[in-house]
A and B are shown apart, each in its own frame.
Chain A
């Protein structure tokens, strides 16, 4: 038994800010103080509060040290771990209140959260199967194999109301039921860990923080539908997740929890890892299966649905990482427990990755039905630098931008669709007044044009034409007719594309047209970008009363667009300079050069 446990986050966010160096330094200092038999250092998965990384928590006190530096470690070890004096100065300041330290669960970021899928993230060492078992790990698999029939399992999942967490929200139990109903000599259970939405990292965090939860759920699914082989398709961009999955699979084999005759029941189930190679379309189910087969990841028409003909033409189910992370809990605590959380049609919790212009960037898990306002302003701590909220983007390149007027809509699958966005996998990017919504739409279209696989024409050519129109608008060559043309094209692409990528690709354009049409009109009619983002619509001007006439900007200007005038401001010795906007190439070199902040853009 150790007297103290020090948990250090080993997720991607914190390791990127050197948390592993901190672990090494901690171990070194602990040894130097002779505490190695009293203090245990554990590398865990993500705590969620990535903005404050690297994160370190000391138990039993529960002291939450944030933005820890290697140089702070000797002080923390000597003062806190040796002498028992918490280094208050280095704690997350929200946990410090008038010299007393409050529990992490009482801080704004954690108080409204409810952790089901993330319950073990930041709690256990993901590289130790015993840690997972100590948290009731593999108990659900044991229960399923020894006490339940496959039909019971499917009924429980159906009753829980769990819907797929990867995007469209199809009922998980129903998917399993369809696949179970098809007889075949071989069936497959696949896990979609190809988290391609830019700005979404919840699946990565589950894999890094609690990989066994996914393995256990896949084995349960295998039992339910009658499959003996599973595949996890994971992004190669997630090296830590891949490594921890490999460790988890080999440990589960060692313990007899994967492989042959699991729990002595005669049930066999094995899991293989497949690495993606950077293709967004492979998040679509039929593409993902084609990619597992080693081919170009192009989608195929449905029907036949994967439950009938999926991987290698055999009945297959595919669920997302977060969906699987809920399964064991539903089996152990019952369908009613799960269905008691959330809204009428969306049960349970949802993990969101908060990013963009928000104070508490990180991972949050909230019951369905929480409002966007609570997420952004309470849990997320609002917008930095006193800026004004403009929109929240959910659903990545398939989703839309939600404006301020809809901040109080309770979040669930159906409500998000109704306001022109979608749940998607759970990326939530906050934008403030400095973000141009036309530019954001263009950004997503650039992404989908790049990632369109090219198989079907509406998506391959349609998205390209849409992007060209957006480029014209942001270059100041747009016309009002373009708005109608774009809308028409959007509906055409949605209706005629082969797979989910094309069917949802126009959503960023449609939702920004719906809520931010005035910004499009400013670009087209006034040739102005209200958020001062679109470079070709900018105009640089010199404030003639601030200009001291040094001429630095004129010397730097690559287009010789700056010349001296005959105006000398009161109190200045030399005449001011001015920019010829006709000649200006809008490079911004003058503005960077001016030491007197006399040049502005707008």
Chain B
């Protein structure tokens, strides 16, 4: 999937940087440290702007191109920040044959953004994700950690409104 690179300026805090340095120190002796450290970095910052990737590369003493290569290879690594509420639509087969494609279209229409984008106010981002394994509830979406299953297109506006109010 083509990664969308954020144009929003990087705003990291010293606390975040200290946490990242601690994660680097903990993993530095592991020969396969790049992935686990990037995973922790994404937990800390929410996404992986180039500034963070540089810190990881310098900290682990590996070339930046290798870090960038890994961060762009795996779909879980995000180069753009996510919204306050990140909506993931499962496009696994079980969900797809039960109409999750229509759900994604409806969400996209209601929010005015495409998949892999974030609303200008930073409230919502939309992602199409791989099977989350809750096939018994197909079609499924998640909003941050909340799971909504057995959905129809008509449920979409109610779900969005719930978070707009929150």
B98 CB–A CB distance under 8 Å:
yes
Asked if A294 and B34 make an inter-chain contact with CB atoms under 8 angstroms apart, the answer reads yes
Cα A427 to Cα B97 in complex, Å, equals 14
- The stretch from B6-14, B17-25, B68-76, B158-166 touching chain A is B68-76
Contact of A201 among B38, B98, B131 (CB under 8 A): B131
Complex contacts, B98 vs chain A, CB 8 Å:
356-357
**Which residues, 288 to 332 on A, are CB-close (under 8 Å) to B?**
291-297, 312
Among residues of A, the one whose C-beta sits closest to the C-beta of B109 is A587
A291 contacts which chain B residues (CB < 8 A)?
35
Question: Are B133 and A279 within 8 A (Cβ)?
Answer: no
Asked whether A211 is an interface residue with its Cβ less than 8 Å from the other chain, the reply is no
Least CB distance from A2 to B in Å reads: 29
Q: Nearest B residue to A280 by beta-carbon distance? A: B130
> Could you give, for residues 58-75 of chain B, a 1 whenever the CB lies within 8 Å of some chain A CB and a 0 otherwise?
000000001001100111
* Set of chain B residues within 8 Å of A50, measured between Cβ atoms: 134-137
Contacts of B38 in A (CB 8 A): 277
Contact partner of B73 (CB less than 8 A), chosen from A195, A296, A435, A440, is: A296
Q: Is B45 an interface residue (CB 8 A)?
A: no
User: How far, in Å, is B94 (CB) from chain A's closest CB?
Assistant: 3
Q: A361–B93 Cα gap in the complex (Å)?
A: 13
Considering the complex, which residues of chain A in the window 26-69 have a beta carbon less than 8 Å from any beta carbon of chain B?
50-51, 53
B residues within 8 A CB of A275?
35-36, 39
Check A393/B93 contact, CB under 8 A, given A237-B132, A275-B36: yes
**Chain A residue with Cβ nearest B142:** A16
Residues from chain B with a CB closer than 8 A to the CB of A353 are: 135
In the docked arrangement, what's the CA distance between A505 and B116, Å? Answer: 25
Q: Which of A422-445 contact B (CB under 8 A)?
A: 427, 429, 431, 435, 440, 443-444
Complex contact B131–A200 (CB within 8 A): yes
* A243 CB, nearest partner CB in chain B, Å: 13
* A53, B136: Cβ atoms closer than 8 Å: yes
Q: How far is the CA of A72 from the CA of B34 in the complex (A)?
A: 48
Query: Which chain B residues in 65-101 approach chain A with CB under 8 Å?
Result: 66, 69-70, 73-77, 91-94, 96-98
What is the CB-to-nearest-CB distance from A521 to chain B, in angstroms, rounded to a whole number? 22
When the two chains form their complex, are residues A199 and B31 in contact, meaning their CB atoms are under 8 A apart?
no
Q: Is the CB of B31 within 8 A of A294?
A: yes
In this assembly, does B5 line the interface, its C-beta being within 8 Å of a C-beta of chain A? Answer: no
Contact of B111 with A by CB under 8 A: no
Q: Are B130 and A443 in contact (CB under 8 A)?
A: no
Shortest Cβ distance from residue A507 to the other chain B in the assembled complex, whole angstroms = 14
- Cβ of A396 within 8 Å of any chain B Cβ, yes or no, is yes
* Among A196, A200, A295, A444, contact of B70 (Cβ-Cβ < 8 Å): A295
Task: Find out whether the CB atom of A296 lies under 8 angstroms from the CB atom of B70.
Answer: yes
The interface centre, meaning the residue of B39, B133, B134 with most chain A CB atoms within 10 A of its CB, is B133
- B1 to chain A minimum Cβ distance, whole angstroms, is 5
A152 contacts the other chain (CB 8 A): no
Closest to A358 in B: B94
Instruction: List B contacts of A164 (CB < 8 A).
Output: none
State how many angstroms separate the Cβ of A478 from the closest Cβ of chain B. Answer: 21
Number of A residues, CB within 8 Å of B:
50
Task: Check A361–B135 contact: CB distance below 8 A.
Answer: yes
Q: Is A294 in contact with B32, judged by CB distance below 8 angstroms? A: yes
Contacting residues, chain B, for A427 (C-beta < 8 A): 93
> A140 at the A/B interface (Cβ < 8 Å)?
no
Among A237, A280, A292, A443, point to the contact of B93 (Cβ < 8 A): A443
B94 to A199, Cβ gap below 8 A? yes
Q: Are A201 and B133 in contact (CB under 8 A)?
A: yes
Q: Which of B76, B131, B134 contacts A198 (CB 8 A)?
A: B131
B140 contacts chain A at the CB level, 8 A cutoff: yes
The number of inter-chain residue pairs (CB within 8 angstroms) is 131
Contact B131 A429 (CB under 8 A): no
Residues of chain A within 8 A (CB-CB) of B31 are 293-294, 312
Most buried by A among B30, B74, B93, B134: B93
The answer to whether A277 and B76 have CB atoms under 8 Å apart is yes
Name the one of A13, A200, A278, A450 contacting B74, with C-beta atoms under 8 angstroms: A278
Decide yes or no whether A355 CB sits under 8 A from chain B: yes
B33 lies within 8 A of chain A by Cβ: yes
**Interface: B46 (CB within 8 A):** no
Contacts A13-B135, A16-B134, A280-B130 given: A236-B39 contact, CB under 8 Å?
A: yes
Q: Which residues of B contact A201 (CB under 8 A)?
A: 131, 133, 135
Given A199-B94, A199-B131, A201-B133, A236–B66 Cβ distance below 8 Å? Answer: no
A292 to B33: give the CA distance in the assembly, Å.
9
Cβ contact of B136, chosen from A51, A295, A435, A450, cutoff 8 A: A51
Closest B residue to A200 by beta carbon equals B131
Q: Which residue of A lies closest to B150 (CB)?
A: A17
Q: Which residue of B lies closest to A282 (CB)?
A: B74
CB atoms of A355 and B93 under 8 A apart:
yes
Max count, chain B CB within 10 A of own CB: residue among A17, A274, A277, A440: A277
Contact status of A429 and B32, CB under 8 A, knowing A17-B137, A237-B130, A361-B138: no
* Nearest B residue to A202, CB-CB: B133
B73 in contact with A12 (CB, 8 Å): no
Given the known inter-chain contacts A275-B39, A453-B73, please indicate yes or no for A295 contacting B34, CB distance below 8 A. Answer: yes
Determine how close the nearest CB of chain B comes to the CB of A211; give it in whole angstroms: 16
> Within A352-385, which residues are at the interface with B (CB < 8 Å)?
353, 355-357, 361-362
Interface centre among B34, B76, B134 (most CB of A within 10 A): B134
A460 interface hit (Cβ, 8 Å): no
Q: B140: shortest Cβ distance to chain A, in Å?
A: 7
Residue of A16, A200, A280, A396 with highest tally of chain B CB at under 10 A? A16
- Taking a contact as CB atoms under 8 Å apart, the answer to whether B76 and A355 are in contact is no
Verify A236–B76 contact, CB threshold 8 A: yes
Instruction: Pull 12 A–B residue pairs with CB atoms less than 8 Å apart, ordered by A.
Output: A196-B130, A198-B92, A199-B131, A274-B36, A278-B75, A295-B32, A353-B135, A355-B138, A361-B135, A361-B138, A396-B93, A443-B93
Given contacts A198-B96, A294-B32, could you give 4 more A-B pairs where the C-beta distance is less than 8 Å? A16-B134, A277-B38, A294-B31, A296-B69
Q: Interface of A with B (CB < 8 Å)?
A: 12-13, 16-17, 50-51, 53, 195-201, 204, 236-238, 274-280, 291-297, 312, 353, 355-357, 361-362, 393, 396, 427, 429, 431, 435, 440, 443-444, 450, 453
